[in-house]
Amino acid sequence: MIGNSLNYILYRSVWSGLDLIFPPVCGGCGKPGARWCDACRGQVAVIQAPFCDLCGIPLQSAGVCSACGAQKPGFSALRSWAAFDRPIQPALHRLKYRRDIGLGDSLAREMLGFVRGLNWPIDMVVPIPLGRKRLKERGYNQVGLIARPLAMALNLEYAPQALVRKRETRSQVGLSRDARRENIRDAFIADPQVKGKTVLMMDDVATTGSTLSAGAEAFLLSGAKSVYALTVARALPRHGLTNA
């Protein structure tokens, strides 16, 4: 994970050129002049230790949270870059509903140092896939807009087809932890190309980690060596969500 690939350097130069031709606006606050302004950069609430060794939710002291202690997740570890709050929340909504490809690149660039600091032995990056209905409605997977440039910067294989949903699921929003786990159970199937590899699975927001755990289980069933999970943001208890 050391250094940027030549492809990523060229990719970044293209965006720099486009920004000169088409002046961007900040994805966090809408201020013109940059895709991610200095003010929003300074407001990001990066999640700090101590947190659960497995799911990464902040704790009072290091260790394993009660939920992971009761049922170990499929992934080796889940980490989230920042709290799901301003300016990350409006940025992810913009990415999700307005297909702001440049913003996806900007968020990947902001997360790059954080991901390198994890020092995970990753072979490939895979975004959590959308269901067929949602993909048809939206036309793209917003997670891939961040995962692709991140993989490029880390000089890792980007494999968006390595994980697919084999059945449609209802939205996880508003569901309890148990309901989320049941809703997503056996929803994914992984391609045999993951056999023997360590996978970095990526999503935009983690709440309980149920979706990522189900994806990790599918990878392991297809022979993956291990699975790590990464999200841009984490919904935290002070935002009305609990880890119970």
Q: What is the pLDDT of residue 175?
A: 66
Q: What is the pLDDT of residues 183-208, one digit of tens each?
A: 677 889 999 999 999 999 999 999 99
Q: What is the pLDDT of residue 92?
A: 97
| Percentage of the chain exceeding pLDDT 70 | 91
Phi, psi (5° rounding) for residue 193?
-60, -15
Of 19-23, 26-30, 151-155, 220-224, the one with minimum mean pLDDT is: 19-23
Q: What is the pLDDT of residues 64-100, one digit of tens each?
A: 999 999 999 999 999 999 999 999 999 999 999 998 8
Separation between Cα atoms, residue 96 and residue 141, nearest integer Å: 8
Q: How far is CA 153 from CA 110, 143, 163, 195, in A?
A: 11, 16, 21, 24
- How many other C-beta atoms lie within 10 A of the C-beta of residue 113? 9
Q: Is 50 exceeded by the pLDDT of residue 180?
A: yes
Q: What is the pLDDT of residue 170?
A: 59
Name the pLDDT band for 241 (thresholds 50, 70, 90): very low
Task: Give the pLDDT mean for 210-233.
Answer: 97
Q: What is the pLDDT of residue 145?
A: 95
Separation between Cα atoms, residue 166 and residue 185, nearest integer Å: 11
Q: Is 90 exceeded by the pLDDT of residue 1?
A: no
Q: Is 60 exceeded by the pLDDT of residue 19?
A: yes
Name the pLDDT band for 238 (thresholds 50, 70, 90): low
Task: Give the pLDDT mean for 105-111.
Answer: 95
Query: 176 burial class (0-12, 13-18, 19+ CB within 10 angstroms)?
Result: exposed
Q: Under a CB-based contact definition with an 8 Å cutoff, are residues 125 and 156 in contact?
A: yes
Q: What is the pLDDT of residues 109-164, one digit of tens each?
A: 999 999 999 999 999 999 999 988 888 888 999 999 999 999 999 999 999 999 99
Q: Is 70 exceeded by the pLDDT of residue 32?
A: yes
Task: Please calculate the CA angle 105-126-145 and round it to the nearest 5 degrees.
Answer: 25
pTM greater than the 0.85 cutoff: yes
In residues, how long is the chain?
244
Secondary structure of 105-172 as H, E, C letters: HHHHHHHHHHHHHHCCCCCEEEECCCCHHHHHHHCCCCCHHHHHHHHHHCCCEECCCCEEECCCCCCC
> What mean pLDDT, rounded, does the chain reach?
89
DSSP 71-117: S--SSSEEEEEEES-TTHHHHHHHHHHH--HHHHHHHHHHHHHHHHH
For residue 112, give every residue at least 6 positions away whose Cβ sits within 8 Å of its Cβ, in sequence order, or none: 150, 153, 154
Q: What is the pLDDT of residue 12?
A: 76
Residue spans per domain, the chain = 6-239
Q: b/e for 184-222, b at 16 or more Cβ within 10 A?
A: beebbebeeebeebbbbbbbbbbbbbbbbbbbbbbbbeb
CATH fold of 6-239: Rossmann fold (3.40.50)
Q: Is 90 exceeded by the pLDDT of residue 235?
A: yes
Amino acid present at 56:
G
Q: What is the pLDDT of residue 243?
A: 39
Task: Give the pLDDT mean for 30-51.
Answer: 95
Q: What is the pLDDT of residue 14?
A: 79
